[in-house]
């Protein structure tokens, strides 16, 4: 572990205080287990926020390209990655993931950006996945909200997430398991 536990703790506190959505503890532990289990070296992350998940993943000696479209978040991430002394491991791209061109391939693609766009991210970035690689998506339980007790906008979002889960289940190219871990995490592998 390169980054001090205290630094990681402070990042998490910053996220909580400033309403920055980051992966929860259980989800993070699972993600880090996957990195070890699949011997992951190269990661593409869609949705950097303040760099919390990227910094944690980079501590397992991985190389990461992470994409963030929000300028404030992008700058916070750059600052935090520098402070964590992980600039050699993590490259942050300031871009909309649906518009950016990435030519590398990765062992793990972690999708953690706008939930309504998950299927588009999946279909775009599957071409960047190594043959034995995995695509991991977070927040598929979306805080276990009850569809009958939310605003119209959130209801639409929950429907989109359900549609994405159906897309994964029916997908002929990828086998997917959705784990009831963290906020609901899918792991997809090529058949
Ligand atoms: C849930 S947060 C990411 C949390 C981060 N992975 C972590 O766990 O520390 C989602 C981030 O994705 C960004 N985002 C949403 N849609 C995006 C897109 N199309 N391209 C790039 N970034 C996007 C948002 O600005 C937000 O900062």
- 3-state secondary structure (DSSP) of residue 4: coil
The reply to whether ligand 1 has any atom less than 6 angstroms from the CB of 22 is: yes
Shortest-distance atom of ligand 1 to CA 50: 9
Our count of domains for the chain comes to: 1
- Domain boundaries, position 134: 5-190
Q: Which atom of ligand 1 is closest in space to residue 138's alpha carbon?
A: 1
Q: Which two tokens stand for residue 23?
A: 């992966």
Does ligand 1 come within 6 angstroms of the Cβ of 121?
Answer: no
Ligand 1 pocket, mutate which of 49, 75, 78, 160 (most atoms under 8 A from CB): 49
- Give the residue among 44, 11, 20 at the shortest CA–CA distance from 122: 44
Q: Which pLDDT does position 1 carry in this prediction? A: 63
Q: Show the CA angle centred on residue 11, arms to residues 10 and 15, nearest 5°.
A: 115
- pLDDT value of residue 148: 82
pLDDT in tens, 98-116: 999 999 999 999 999 999 9
Distance 76 CA to ligand 1 centre (A): 13
Mention every residue, 6+ apart, whose C-beta is less than 8 A from residue 91: 64, 65, 66
Q: Which residues pair with 156 in a beta bridge?
A: none
Which residues in the chain land under pLDDT 50?
none
Max alpha carbon distance in the chain (Å)? 47
Please give the distance, rounded to the nearest whole angstrom, from the Cα atom of residue 151 to the centre of ligand 1.
22
Q: Is 107 in the pocket of ligand 1 (CB under 6 A)?
A: no
CATH number for the domain that contains residue 40: 3.40.50.150
> Do the beta carbons of residue 87 and residue 78 sit within 8 Å?
no
Return the axis-axis angle of helices 118-125 and 152-170, rounded to nearest 10°: 30
- Identify the pLDDT of residue 142: 86
The residue written with tokens 């501590």 in the block is 59
């Amino acid at each position: 572990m390169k980054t001090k536990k205290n630094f990681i703790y402070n990042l998490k506190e910053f996220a909580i205080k400033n309403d920055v959505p980051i992966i929860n503890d259980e989800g993070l532990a699972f993600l880090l287990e996957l990195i070890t289990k699949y011997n992951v070296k190269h990661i593409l992350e869609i949705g950097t926020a303040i760099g919390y998940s990227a910094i944690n993943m980079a501590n397992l000696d991985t190389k990461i390209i992470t994409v963030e479209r929000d300028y404030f978040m992008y700058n916070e991430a750059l600052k935090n990655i520098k402070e964590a002394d992980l600039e050699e491991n993590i490259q942050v791209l300031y871009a909309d993931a649906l518009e950016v061109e990435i030519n590398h391939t990765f062992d793990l693609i972690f999708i953690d950006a706008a939930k309504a766009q998950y299927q588009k991210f999946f279909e775009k970035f599957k071409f960047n996945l190594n043959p034995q690689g995995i695509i991991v998506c977070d927040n598929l339980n979306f805080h276990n909200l009850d569809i009958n007790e939310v605003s119209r906008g959130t209801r639409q979002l929950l429907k989109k997430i359900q549609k994405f889960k159906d897309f994964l289940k029916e997908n002929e190219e990828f086998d997917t398991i959705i784990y009831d871990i963290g906020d609901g995490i899918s792991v997809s592998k090529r058949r």
